[in-house]
Structure formats: C-alpha cells, structure tokens
Amino acid sequence: MVKIMNDNFNRFWLSFTTWFLQELPYESMLKSCYIHYSNWNNGSYYVDIDYDHEYKLNLGTEYPKTLDKESISYEEFKVFIELIYERCIEKRYDFTVAVNNRLKGFRVPLKLQSGKLIKEGYKTTFELGQIINYETFERKIKFSEEMISSKEFLDKKVALDYIIDSLQYLLSVNPGKTVKAKYESASLQVGNSKDSKVFTVINNELDEIMKIANEFFDIRHNEYLNKSKEKREILNDKAFIEYLYNRVYTMLYLLRIKTNPAQLLHNNTEEKTMSDDI
C-alpha cells in the first residue's frame, strides 16, 4: 500500500494521538477494561492497553511503538486502527465517526468503514440512499475498496472483478428485456432524455466498460477467445488495473447516487436479471 507521509497526514496523526490518549478515555467509546483511573494529578482516566500483547496475540508481530512516533506510514496506521477497532472499542459507530471527522478535517483521503481503513473513492456532496442489496451489491463494493489498495496483483484483479460485478448487478435490476434496454434505463436516470448529451455519454460509457470487462481482457472470463473469436488480453499491469477500477467505480457511484432503489427493487421482481455477459 502507498505510504502517506505528507504534512496533512502528520498533522492528523498528532491530532489523533492527542485525542486518543487524552480525550478518548472520557468519551465512553473504549471498553471499560481498557480504561484505567489514576489518583495522581487530581484524578484522571487514561488508556490502558497492552499494545505489545495485542499485536503478538492477534497479529503475531511486535508492537512498533506506533503511538510514540511523530509520523507513521499508512500501513502502520491501518494495522493500528483496525486492531484497536476490533479489540478495544465498545461504541464502534461513534468511534468511526470521530476518526473519519478528524481524517476529513485534515484532508486525508482515507476513511474507516466497517472496521477497515480504506482509501476514499468518489468525491461527492450527495448522500447515498437506502441499501439496495447488501449481499450482492454493497458488500462486494466494500470488499473491492479494500482489495484495490493492496500491493498484491491478484488482490487488485479481484477488486476489479468485484466492482464490475457490482456494476453488472446494478444494471441488471434496471427495467428492460435486453442488455441495450437496461443500459438505456440506467442512463436515463442520469440524462433524463435520450436527446440529452449526458444520456449519450453515460450510455456509451456503459457499453464501453462492459466490452472491456467481457471482451477485451481476462477480467471476468478465463477463456482465451471472446465470443467474436478475438483474443482476450491478459491483464498484468497493476497501474492499469487501478485505472480500470477507478473508471468503473466512478460510473457505479454516479448511478448509485441517481438510482431510485425502490423502483429498482420493484422492477427486479418483475424481470429476469441479465447474465454475466451483460
């Protein structure tokens, strides 16, 4: 994973450690067993975590004295925050909000989500609506967001596969009896009219993305040749995989914002979903 050692992150880290060590014990987020009271200095509470024990027990490594450092890497922070979240936090929602507000305040493009530290993706002021389908859609997106940040080539390919699969699901529950009709239905949620240039851009992009996924590369299919008997090219460039991921992610998120979940769920009960070759 990419190290973040810039001024914003270092300033965030100083703010975070100050909050974590001095204020967190008073905010009822930590499990009580990790808070200790001292009679010194007119009485005070402090964080009482045996970090070395937690690291050895759960990770099989020694604690790198993270809290004593003026600056740390992204990898160190990710390991620390995820372990603390899993082992020590009682009020996880409140803790997540507090950490993310601090990250946002220092313009660090990371967020804590479901106990995992991931890179921020789509930049928007819009709030997402209701969950469409957790198992088939939401969970795959979250998993892909974590995997794309991995250094491992196979993790990145899995992330790309999952984000494309999520887009395919979102398209499949749009109204329409053909692939083309479903693309158009999804595009109309953004462009409002087939005469709109916005509609044309979205519709063409959807067609291109799914051609890339199903015909150009070995993303969702392992066969050497595609349906047109053309060679599928093997993806082996991690940077290019990240480019494709972000291209798909951006389209998915735009449609996610514009989608009416209730309408999609209604349509999904009336129509068959598309195949994997959407």
* Region 3-31 average pLDDT: 85
Percent of the chain with pLDDT over 90: 36
Radius of gyration of the chain (CA): 23
For the beta carbon of residue 229, count every other beta carbon within 10 angstroms.
7
pTM of the model: 0.57
**In this predicted model, what pLDDT tens digit does every residue of 28-79 receive, in sequence order?**
899 999 988 777 767 788 889 999 999 999 999 999 999 888 888 888 999 9
Give the tokens for residue 266.
């209604």
Of residues 8, 28, 5, 26, the one with CA closest to residue 102: 8
pLDDT given for residue 131 in this prediction: 56
Band (146; pLDDT cuts 50, 70, 90): confident
pLDDT tens-digit series, residues 179-194: 899 999 889 888 888 8
Specify which residues 225 forms β-bridges with. Answer: 231
pLDDT at res. 176: 85
Work out the number of other CB atoms within 10 angstroms of the CB of residue 3: 12
> So where are the chain's domains?
7-119, 134-268
Q: How far is CA 157 from CA 144, 154, 242, 243, in A?
A: 9, 5, 9, 12
Residue-wise pLDDT for 158-216, tens only, equals 899 999 999 988 888 888 888 899 999 889 888 888 899 999 999 999 999 988 888 78
pLDDT tens column, 226-245: 555 567 778 888 899 999 99
